[in-house]
Amino acid sequence: MEDPHPNSIVLRGIFFIKAYFVYVVLGLIVVRGLYRRYASPLRHIPGPFIASCTRGWKFWHVYRGHVETNFIELHRKFGPVVRSAPNEVSFASTAAAKDIFTSGKGFRKSDFYWVFPPPENPDIFTEVREWKHAQMKRFAVVPYSLSSMQKLTPSIEETERLLLQKIDRFTASPQAECDLGDWLHWFAFDVLGEVAFSCSFGFLEKGMDVEGAIKLIDDMQWYDGLIGQVPWLHYILRLNPLKPYVPFMGVSKPSLITRLAREELRKREQEGADLEVNQQDLMGQLLKAHAGSPDKFSKADVFSVAHGAIFAGSDSTASTMQSFFHLLLSHPSVYTRVVAEINEAQNAGKLSPMVQYQEAQDLPYFQACLKEAMRIRPAVGLNIERVTPPQGTEIGGANYPGGTTCAVNGWVLHRDKARFGQDADVYRPERWLEDNAKDMERYLFQFGGGSHLCIGRNLALLEINKLLPQLLREYHFKLVHPDRPLQYHSTFFVVQSGLKVFVERRSDPKA
């Protein structure tokens, strides 16, 4: 019998695909990649060939954990404007970053952010809807203000005293090794517990990561930073409806911090609960804001903002303090000078038994060392992304089409030699004592920029400015391994380890 479709192109195509399925798929991937590279209006922008074809290039570098140094090298090779993904451009210029972060230009957050939890009720950092972000920030700006944070100084100082007690134990023997990085990390978390909920998480008291809560947060941020590069993977992984039925993807239990936050909110919601008792802490002030406008600032918003403060504020503050100490102790002349400044202030009666925020502001060389640490090793390691408005926009004198993702990295921006000098790659605190210091400070992106400037910066700076001079006044520190760099990897924040020191109590501040 004669074949009724002897020349069917469709059938021949089906047979060909079945016979060469793998090759067909690979061919389609290659064609798609080449199309994305050459058909894009960004095709004239230099960058790695693979990066212009697929986001897999960026995914791989984020997976390796040192994306910030990768982008430093990327810009050194290709210049100040680099195509870092098919529809993404990375900028190395602080002037370009100002263009991107300037309020009112119509930029929005990229899909990178919606991967971060909680998906059902985003916090200020993860909220991608501009109107909702602005609304939440309006209600949170007063609770997060410096004056509000300073009212919580007694709780912060109580945590400081506990840290000093713990560090004192390492002064008994000159050979006792203190992992200062861990203690600073635990301090940052416990302070956030006191500030947000008027309760400590117990990390300092127990001298450990209780229930692995900090490790869990780091793992979550590693997932968020990685999957945020290819957001559709989120549907297959964390948002997969089959997740509860797959053994290795089972629903995880809430962390210690989440449980305590929920319990504290539940207690304060109980009928007859006296909200005035804890109204000074962050959750109390947020509940007060909710009571004034429950339709615009819900209880779910209260939880997400207070809970988000722990996740965003603890790792970033700890990382900054760890960087400060490692850079300081790795440069003996700088260390000697900053200690001398603190000694002079102490001898002049300018420092309280517990160093106050404003007193630290009057230590110019200490402030220079702090700013230089934030410049050379910002707490955020991944790129900050924004998407251009539909009509397109101008950045750094060049036009970019609507829908283009614009990325900046603090580690790259802070090495802008046009802004920070020809020695921008070098740790030199003295630059902050020079005539152009005010101009440089405008281009520090440690806390982001524009309308999305980190709302928790006042708390972070309050903690840092109180604790670091206190430690430098009380103790003499020496690196156990002065020849080793600080170990780190970037999840979203720069997570560091290896800051081991010998500690000696300075009974005489003149010594």
Residue with tokens 């006792």: 176
| Closest by CA position to 48, among listed 57, 56, 59 | 57
DSSP one-letter code for 255: P
| Helix (H) or strand (E) segment spanning residue 406 | strand 405-408
Contact assessment for residue 313 and residue 459, using Cβ atoms and an 8 Å cutoff: yes
Give yes or no for a contact between 506 and 229, defined as CB atoms under 8 angstroms apart. Answer: no
Give the type of residue at 293.
Answer: S
Listed in sequence order, the residues at least 6 apart from 12 whose beta carbon sits closer than 8 Å to its beta carbon are none
- The helix (run of H) or strand (run of E) holding residue 26 is helix 21-38
Q: What is the C-alpha to C-alpha distance for residues 111 and 142, in angstroms, rounded to an integer?
A: 29
Beta-sheet strands, E only, within 242-288: none
Cα dist from 41 to 97, 202, 387, whole Å: 21, 54, 15
Contact 23, 17 (CB under 8 A): no
Count the alpha carbons within 13 Å of 23 in the hemisphere toward its beta carbon.
5
Please tell me the distance from the alpha carbon of residue 475 to that of residue 184, in angstroms, as a whole number: 15
DSSP H or E stretch at residue 178: strand 177-179
Q: Which two tokens stand for residue 388?
A: 């251009």
Distance CA 63, CA 384 (A): 17
Dig out the tokens for 126 from the structure.
């993860």
Tell me the three-class secondary structure of 74-140, residue by residue.
Answer: HHHHHCCEEEEECCEEEECCHHHHHHHHCCCCCCEECHHHHHCCCCCCCCCCCCCCHHHHHHHHHHH
Encoded tokens for 510: 């003149």
53 known ligand binder: no
End-to-end Cα spacing for the chain: 106
The DSSP element (H or E) to which 385 belongs, if any, is strand 384-387
Contact 367, 432 (CB under 8 A): yes
Closest CA to 324 of 468, 487, 483, 493: 468
Query: Tokens 């229930």, residue?
Result: 211
Say whether the peptide bond before residue 118 is cis (omega within 30 degrees of 0).
yes
Binding residues for heme: 454
Binding residues: 454
